Amino acid sequence: MVKITYSENRLVVQGQLLISELENLEKILKFIDKTVMSSLEINLAAVNRIDSAGVAFLDEILERGKAKGLSVQMVHAGPHIAATIAAFSSRNLPEADSTAPPSIFENIGGWLVEVGRNTKQLLYLISDSAWFAVTGLFHKKGVRKGEFIRQSIIIGMNSFPIVALISFLVGLILALQSAAQLRIFGAGIYVADLVAISMTREMGPLMTAIVFAGRSGSAIASEIATMVVTEETDALKSMALNPVRYVLVPKIYAITLTMPLLTVLSIILGILGALVIGMAYLDIGPLPFYNEVLTVLILKDLLTGLIKSVIFAWIIVLVGAYYGFRVRGGAQGVGSATTASVVASIFLVILADSLLGLLFYFGGGADM
Amino acid sequence: MSTESLTNIIQVEDLTTGYNGRTVLQNVSMVARAHEITVILGASGCGKTTLLKNMIRLYQPWSGSIRLFGKEITDMDEPEFNHLLQNIGVLFQNGALLNSIPVSENISIPLLQHTKLPRVLIQRLVRIKLHLVGLENAGHLLPSELSGGMRKRAALARAIAMDPPLLFGDEPSAGLDPVTSAALDDLLLKLRNDLGMTILLVSHEVPSILRIADSIIFLESGRVLFCGPLKQALTAGIEEVDDFFSKGSEGRRAG
Ligand SMILES: Nc1ncnc2c1ncn2[C@@H]1O[C@H](COP(=O)(O)OP(=O)(O)O)[C@@H](O)[C@H]1O
Ligand SMILES: [Mg+2]
């Protein structure tokens, strides 16, 4: 037990000043703050045990007394108690990180600086990637043999089943939505036109990119982030290998190849989805449907879709790599980098899609 | 917790355990006496960490008895054991700091969990512990921003946050530079002398063992070769023990 009494500038502490005994001390600290005294003497003669929490408690009283301008003294501590106090005293220690929370202006300023710095880093990454991607076509040194093929297979295979399934369903839904209306006018066959054009120009590239961002973009971000956290990228640099070139460039090649292929797959499956509706609901045979698709689709539509898909691919791989390379803070950082990369790349893909839509529309004439 | 009347704070009898059916410790019996520093020695992979983890019930032994503060823990119920853990500090081999929060908050976790101390005192205690391990300026950093040796010291600060009567340390000085390692030995001696802590360590550093150990437990391939005072160990004439100390003093490491 610990017992603390006060009378006339004198605080008498008795018993065991141990962490398990120190409760409700707030009261005593407040008492010291409030009570008027001319000086303070802490009598420790009857303290028979003390630990570092007890020492911290005495220090707190001492410093509060001093803050009030009192002369404070500890007296009559037994030799063992005095030694423990000396060993664990927290007086004269630097104030612990008492960093005040930043003000709102500092916050905004810090945020702007951060945005500036991030943009700069992203631009560096883009220029590095572009440089190494182009020069890498001619200099094969410093890249693992077969890495391009391996990456293409991994990245493509990752996304293949889910892209296929989602595209099929999207085509099906698009057809179903329009079939009812078109049938009223006896124009059921135009379901083929509608789905073919929207899958080719819009939904195919977009759906593929979104699935890709979630499946392969996140994998790229977490792979690179893990390499940074485990100092693998430092090890590469120490062996004179540029991590962008060694890790990222093969992925860029691979994704530039696989993304358009997946997009074509997506378009085909979307149209197949529409065909199912056409056959089941509108009594259109496969051959008339196929002919209708061929007459309505022109090469320009397909090119529009493929250009979009390549641009989306670059956005996804660069955003993933960007978040991967700037990861901070252990295994936990890997998780947040991955999540952030997916959110950012989906947003940027949709933003780019809108911008490209405008560009193709105004740049290519009203028929686009 | 009253430890005065007890001589053996830790008492393990006939402990047998392992992983996935493979025996790692076989009929291990040992004691750690109150207010002493006891060091477990043995080649890496011989089961030292396993022994420690069984003592804090991270694993259940296959058979045998483990008594801490005189109480059998192998069949103790959960609330009682959690209460007992207040009296135990553990330094894990890899530090095991929580990576998402700063060092100072790591150290305050046991204080917040087990005590009702006012915040100011908790902050002050955290500062004391940071100072004791020589990290007074690192409290605001995340564990991932520390070097390996600093991380270990921060983990020690967390282990002693509550001034536990019993401290387990799995290779606290491995990977530290000689100066920091000597300072760590001083700190352990201080904890034993001033606070009367009972300390059970795993260590390979012969000079440090000679300096701080009161007793040693020598493990080999999951069996106890020797358990008793250091002085006896040095004169007992056990070949493996003599080997360890002579090779260790030449500067080679066992683990
Ligand atoms: N979680 C685990 N699962 C399976 N085997 C383990 C596990 N932890 C340790 N071991 C094995 O148990 C043996 C003893 O390990 P450990 O107690 O860590 O040794 P030490 O700490 O003495 O170096 C080793 O052979 C190790 O491979
Ligand atoms: Mg170990």
Interface test with B, best of A90, A91, A234, A334 (most B CBs within 10 A): A90
Q: What is the dihedral of CA B217, B219, B224, B228, to 10 degrees?
A: -10
- Chain B residues in contact with A60 (beta carbon < 8 A): 120-121, 124
Q: Is A93 on the interface with B (CB under 8 A)?
A: yes
Q: A223 falls in which pLDDT band (50, 70, 90)?
A: very high
Contact yes or no for A88 and B123 at CB 8 A: no
Of B117, B121, B136, the CB nearest to A93: B136
Q: A29 to chain B: which residues are within 8 Å by CB?
A: 118, 120
Taking alpha carbons only, the member of A344, A99, A353, A351 closest to residue A204 is: A353
The ligand whose atoms approach the alpha carbon of B255 most closely is: 1
CA of B42, closest atom in ligand 1: 22
Confidence (pLDDT) at B43: 87
Instruction: Please report residues of A whose CB lies closer than 8 A to that of B130.
Output: 96
Ligand sitting nearest the alpha carbon of B170: 2
CB-based contact A22 B195, cutoff 8 Å: no
Mean pLDDT within B64-88:
91
**A270 part of a folded domain:** yes
Q: pTM higher than 0.80, yes or no?
A: no
Neighbour tally for A199: CB within 10 Å: 30
Give the span between the Cα atoms of A159 and A354, in whole angstroms. Answer: 24
> Quick one: average pLDDT of B118-136?
91
A52 close to B (CB below 8 A): yes
User: In terms of domains, do A70 and A123 share one?
Assistant: no
- Token pair belonging to A335: 């998780």
In this prediction, residue A159 has a pLDDT band, given cuts at 50, 70 and 90, of confident
Give the range among A63-67, A362-366, B13-17, B24-28 with minimum mean pLDDT. A362-366
Percent of chain A with pLDDT over 70: 94
Backbone φ, ψ for residue A75 (5° rounding): -130, 160
Residues with CB under 6 A from ligand 1: B 19-20, 24, 42, 44-50
The helix/strand/coil state of A358 is helix
Confidence tier at A9 by pLDDT (50, 70, 90): confident
> Domain end: A92, A107, A134, which one?
A92
Band of the pLDDT at A96, cuts 50, 70, 90? Answer: low
Residues B101-109, mean pLDDT to the nearest whole number: 89
Stretch 70-89 of chain A: residues touching chain B, C-beta under 8 Å: 80, 83-84, 87-89
| pLDDT score for A190 | 84
Q: For the complex shown, is ipTM > 0.85?
A: no
Which of the given ranges, A188-192, A267-271, A329-333, has the highest pLDDT on average?
A: A267-271
* Same domain, residue pair A211 and A264: yes
| A358 Cβ contact partners less than 8 Å away, ≥ 6 residues apart | none
Q: Is B166 in the A-facing interface, judged by CB distances under 8 Å?
A: no
pLDDT of residue A177: 87
B186-200 pLDDT, tens digit per residue, is 999 999 998 899 999
Ligand 1, pocket-test mutation among B40, B41, B46, B219, most atoms within 8 A of CB: B46
Closest to B202 (Cα-Cα) out of B100, B99, B92, B106: B92
Clarify whether residues A321 and A198 are in a common domain. Answer: yes
A198 located within any domain: yes
Any chain B CB within 8 A of the CB of A57?
Answer: yes
Best interface-test mutation with B: which of A16, A51, A62 has the largest number of B CBs within 10 A?
A51
Residues A15 and A138 in one domain: no
Nearest C-alpha in B relative to A229: B144
A67 and A123 in a common domain: no
Q: Which of chain B's residues have a Cβ under 8 Å away from the Cβ of A87?
A: 190, 194
B144–A229 C-beta distance less than 8 A: yes
Asked if A76 and A200 sit in the same domain, the reply is: no
In a domain, A109, yes or no: no
Contact A316, A349 (CB under 8 A): yes
d(CA B154, CA B130): 7
- At residue A320's C-alpha, the angle toward residues A314 and A324, to 5°, is 140
Residues near B194 by beta carbon (within 8 Å), at least 6 away in sequence: A80, A83, A84, A87, A88
Nearest CA of chain B to the CA of A90: how many Å? 5
Residue A94: what pLDDT?
A: 66
Q: How many CB pairs lie under 8 A apart between chains A and B?
A: 90
pLDDT exceeds 70 at position A224 = yes
Is A107 domain-assigned? no
Same domain (yes/no): A87, A125: no
Structural domain harbouring A317: 119-364
What is the tens place of the pLDDT at every residue in B87-99? 999 998 878 888 7
Q: Determine the Cα–Cα distance for residues A25 and B117; give it in Å rounded to an integer.
A: 7
pLDDT at site B249: 66
CA of A342 to the centre of ligand 2 (A): 39
**A141-166 average pLDDT score:** 83
Q: Once rounded to an integer, what is the mean pLDDT over residues A350-367?
A: 78
pLDDT at B10 over 70: yes
Per-residue pLDDT at B178: 87
Residues in A touching B99 (Cβ below 8 Å)? 329-332
> Do A144 and A47 belong together in one domain?
no
B147 Cβ under 8 Å from any chain A Cβ: no
A66 plus A142 within the same structural domain = no
Instruction: Determine the pLDDT at residue B99.
Output: 76
Q: Would an 8 Å CB–CB cutoff place B83 in contact with chain A?
A: no
On whether residue A101 sits in a domain, the answer given is no
Tokens of A130: 């572009």
Q: Do A25 and B195 count as a contact with CB atoms less than 8 A apart?
A: no
Q: Does B140 touch chain A (CB under 8 A)?
A: yes
Residue A322 has pLDDT above 50, yes or no: yes
Tell me whether residue A111 is in a domain.
no
Task: Indicate whether A366 pLDDT > 50.
Answer: no
Tell me the pLDDT tens digit for each residue of B38-50.
999 988 889 999 9
Please indicate whether, in this complex, the C-beta atoms of B190 and A333 are within 8 angstroms of each other: no
For testing the chain A interface, which of B4, B158, B163 should be mutated: the one with the most A CBs within 10 Å? B163
A94 near B CB under 8 A: yes
Segment among A228-242, A292-306, B163-177 with least mean pLDDT: A228-242
**Structure-model confidence comparison of residues A75 and B4, the more confident one:** A75
Q: How far apart are CA B238 and CA B251, in angstroms?
A: 20
Q: Which residues of B touch A333 (CB under 8 A)?
A: 144
- Domain membership of residue A267 (yes or no) is yes
pLDDT at A269 over 90: yes
Instruction: Locate all alpha helices (DSSP H) within A213-329, ordered by sequence.
Output: 218-229, 232-238, 243, 249-281, 286-296, 299-325
Identify the pLDDT of residue A338. 94
The answer to whether the CB atoms of B131 and A25 lie below 8 A apart is no
Same domain? For A205 and A244 the reply is yes
For chain A, how many structural domains are there in total? 2
- Band the pLDDT of B255: cuts 50, 70, 90: very low
The protein residue whose alpha carbon is closest to atom 8 in ligand 1 is B50
Distance B47 CA to ligand 1 centre (A): 6
Q: Are residues A272 and A310 in the same domain?
A: yes
Is A19 in the B-facing interface, judged by CB distances under 8 Å?
Answer: yes
In a domain, A102, yes or no: no
Average pLDDT estimate for B145-159: 89
Of B228 and B100, more confident: B228
Checking if the pLDDT of A239 tops 80, the result is no
* DSSP line for A97-136: --PPPPPHHHHHHHHHHHHHHHHHHHHHHHHHHHHHHHHT
Same domain, A197 and A260: yes
Least confident of A12-21, A322-331, B246-255: B246-255
Average pLDDT over residues A295-305: 87
CATH of residue A68:
3.30.750.24
